[in-house]
Structures are given as structure tokens and as C-alpha cells.
Amino acid sequence: MRFMVIVKASKDSEAGVMPSEEMLAAMGKFNEEMVKAGIMLDGNGLQSSAKGARIRFNGDKRTVIDGPFAETKELVAGYWIIDVKSKAEAIEWMKRCPNPHAGESELEIRQVFELEDFGESPAVDLHRKLGDEIAQQQKK
């Protein structure tokens, strides 16, 4: 089962404050443990929402909204994609994570849909084919 672990933003991360050397080292050690256990598929920190944009959809209309965005607690500062046997295992791993921010922090754990969850259809076949193409491109 794949899970996305979302690191919620803080006032400091939104202000562009870089993590301390100690935090980088602690996160590096934690990431190394997950890589050695074979569960970490990807993970990165994200720049502040001031450097981002949102696209709002309303029927055929598209509206672009440039950052920064107001509700810090609703923003994402980073993520991991992990592959574990259960939500309980994902929770146990993430309880070992260093606190990502000074003070109060929050991680959100969400299961990723697998193509098998959607049943069989031509659209699912297309998504499977595209996934294979992406995997081939990444090998180059």
C-alpha cells in the first residue's frame, strides 16, 4: 500500500526560513532508515506558497491565483511517498519522524489509489500504459 505523508506548513516554512543543519541531519537520518527498510519511494520539501500558484476550475473556465496563500495550516511544506503493508505501519513509521518544525507540527497520512481500485475499463488501461511510459522515461 502506498501512502503520501504530507508535512503541513508553518509560519517559518511559509516565510522561507530554511531548516537548521541539525534538522537537515535528523531528517536525513530518518530518510536513510526508510530507504534502508525499502519503504521510501520519494520525498521532498516544498518552497513556500509565495512561489506557487493555484488553478481554480469552474466548468470550462480556468482562473490562476498566484501565491502566497493565507491559511498556513492548510498548506503543504513537504511530503514522502512510502510503500508499507498498512496504515498502522505508516503511522508507526511517521511517529518516529523528527518534528519537522520548531514547536507544533502536523503530518497527514493519505493512502494513494491504485489502478486496481478502479476496476477494469479503457480509461484504466490508458492510465496503466502511461504509468509504464513514465517508468521507461525515468530509466533513461
Buried b (16+ CB within 10 A) or exposed e, 103-118: eebebeeeeeeeeeee
Distance of alpha carbon 140 from alpha carbon 137, whole angstroms: 5
SS3 139: helix
Predicted local distance difference test score (pLDDT) of residue 102? 87
pLDDT of residue 74: 87
pTM of the model: 0.90
Residue 101 is classified by DSSP as S
Cβ within 8 Å of residue 115, ≥6 positions away: 124, 127, 128, 131
Contact between 64 and 58 under an 8 Å Cβ cutoff? The reply is: no
* pLDDT at residue 140 in the model: 84
pLDDT tens track, the chain, 140 positions: 999 999 999 999 999 999 999 999 999 999 999 999 999 999 999 999 999 999 999 999 999 999 999 887 789 999 999 999 999 999 999 999 999 998 889 999 999 999 999 999 999 999 999 999 999 999 98
Give, in words, the CATH class of 2-139: alpha beta
